[in-house]
């Protein structure tokens, strides 16, 4: 497993260098996908192709589930699956040139084994898994305190909050405050680092799998908004938190059903 970890860390750093180079030297081509706020650039596609090429060269038997380049469907999760979000927070990437990350998860027979989230502009690589713990670059990340909702900041999807979906506003009121970064990976990094007690959103597998492996390795919880196991298949309403905050938010989400 150490060889696989070292390879992925190397690929992610290389991908980060490609992004920084592209930001300074190349013209960005921005296209829309499902709406005018759902963006993809030439760099997203190039980074996914680079990562997928390295993965398949390393392990030709493995499968790819990735947001771009027509790899966004995978029904058979048996064996080793690499899950890729080449740029998470593409809107931030285009408009801010920061607050985005590269994300990779390794799944084995449907179970999350390893997660990697690389905040390129801050050079912060969070990586790890259930059997090895979680690291920020070379430093081990301590298990965050199990804070209740009332003692921490809550990451939130803007439209779910605006619409009070699943009692999202009540969750926010009971927390110390709501934060919206536009980047699922950074929200999950912040949970791993003890800066957030939870995150409520609407996410695809490549949005939650990499950071999800990390927060679960630190004893935090994630599921669908109603507490079901995430399907790794299509977008789902997503809930994550410290064990205490998660239970409080799940209760509120379930109450919104009635």
Alpha-carbon span 104 to 202, nearest angstrom: 19
Based on CB atoms, which residue is closest to Ca ion, 191 or 244?
191
202 binds, among ligand IPD, Ca ion, none (CB under 5 to 8 A by kind): ligand IPD
Based on CB atoms, which residue is closest to Ca ion, 66 or 152?
66
- Residues touching ligand IPD: how many (CB under 6 A)? 13
Alpha-carbon span 67 to 90, nearest angstrom: 12
Alpha-carbon span 230 to 82, nearest angstrom: 17
Of 176-235, binders to ligand IPD (CB under 6 A) are: 182-184, 201-203, 207
129 binds, among ligand IPD, Ca ion, none (CB under 5 to 8 A by kind): none
Helices (H), 66-183: 90-95, 158-162, 168-174
Burial of 10 (0-12, 13-18, 19+ CB in 10 A): exposed
Closest CA to 63 of 117, 207, 71: 71
Residue 24: both structure tokens together = 């300074």
- Quote the Cα angle for 115-84-53, to 5°: 115
Alpha-carbon span 199 to 153, nearest angstrom: 9
Alpha-carbon span 250 to 252, nearest angstrom: 5
Longest CA span, the chain: 54
115 binds, among Ca ion, ligand IPD, none (CB under 5 to 8 A by kind): none
Based on CB atoms, which residue is closest to ligand IPD, 8 or 203?
203
Least distance between ligand IPD and beta carbon 138 (Å): 26
119 binds, among ligand IPD, Ca ion, none (CB under 5 to 8 A by kind): none
Based on CB atoms, which residue is closest to Ca ion, 161 or 238?
238
Q: What is the CA radius of gyration of the chain?
A: 17
> Binding residue for ligand IPD (CB under 6 A) from 157, 175, 223, 242?
157
| Positions that interact with Ca ion (CB under 5 A) | 67, 85, 87-88, 207
Least distance between ligand IPD and beta carbon 90 (Å): 4
Based on CB atoms, which residue is closest to Ca ion, 89 or 128?
89
Based on CB atoms, which residue is closest to Ca ion, 92 or 175?
92
Least distance between Ca ion and beta carbon 243 (Å): 25
> Binding residue for ligand IPD (CB under 6 A) from 88, 119, 190, 248?
88
Of 21-80, binders to ligand IPD (CB under 6 A) are: 67
Least distance between Ca ion and beta carbon 93 (Å): 9
**Per 3-state DSSP, what percentage of the chain is helix, strand, and coil (rounded to 5)?**
40, 30, 35
Is residue 90 part of the contact set for ligand IPD (CB under 6 A)? yes
CA 32 to chain CA centroid, Å, is 21
Task: Catalog residues that contact ligand IPD under the rule CB under 6 A.
Answer: 67, 85, 88-90, 157, 182-184, 201-203, 207
């Amino acid at each position: 497993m150490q060889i696989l970890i070292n390879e992925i860390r190397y690929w992610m750093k290389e991908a980060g260098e490609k992004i920084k180079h592209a930001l300074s030297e190349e013209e960005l081509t921005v296209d829309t996908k499902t709406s005018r706020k759902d963006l993809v650039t030439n760099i997203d596609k190039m980074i996914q192709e680079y990562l997928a090429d390295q993965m398949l060269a390393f392990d030709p038997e493995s499968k790819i589930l990735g947001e771009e380049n027509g790899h966004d469907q995978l029904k058979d999760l048996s064996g080793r699956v690499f899950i890729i979000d080449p740029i998470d927070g593409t809107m931030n990437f285009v408009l801010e040139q920061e607050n985005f990350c590269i994300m990779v998860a390794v799944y084995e027979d449907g179970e999350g084994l390893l997660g990697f989230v690389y905040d390129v502009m801050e050079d912060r690589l969070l990586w790890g898994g259930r059997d090895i713990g979680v690291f920020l670059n070379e430093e081990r990340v301590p298990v965050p305190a199990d804070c209740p909702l009332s003692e921490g900041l809550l990451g939130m999807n803007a439209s779910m909050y605006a619409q009070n979906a699943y009692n999202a506003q009540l969750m926010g009121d009971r927390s110390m405050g709501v934060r919206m970064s536009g980047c699922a990976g950074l929200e999950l990094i912040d949970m791993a680092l003890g800066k957030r007690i939870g995150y409520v959103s609407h996410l695809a597998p490549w949005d939650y799998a990499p950071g999800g492996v990390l927060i679960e390795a630190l004893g935090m919880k994630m599921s669908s908004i109603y507490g079901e196991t995430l399907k790794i298949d299509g977008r789902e309403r997503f809930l994550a938190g410290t064990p205490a905050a998660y239970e409080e938010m799940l209760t509120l989400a379930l109450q919104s059903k009635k």
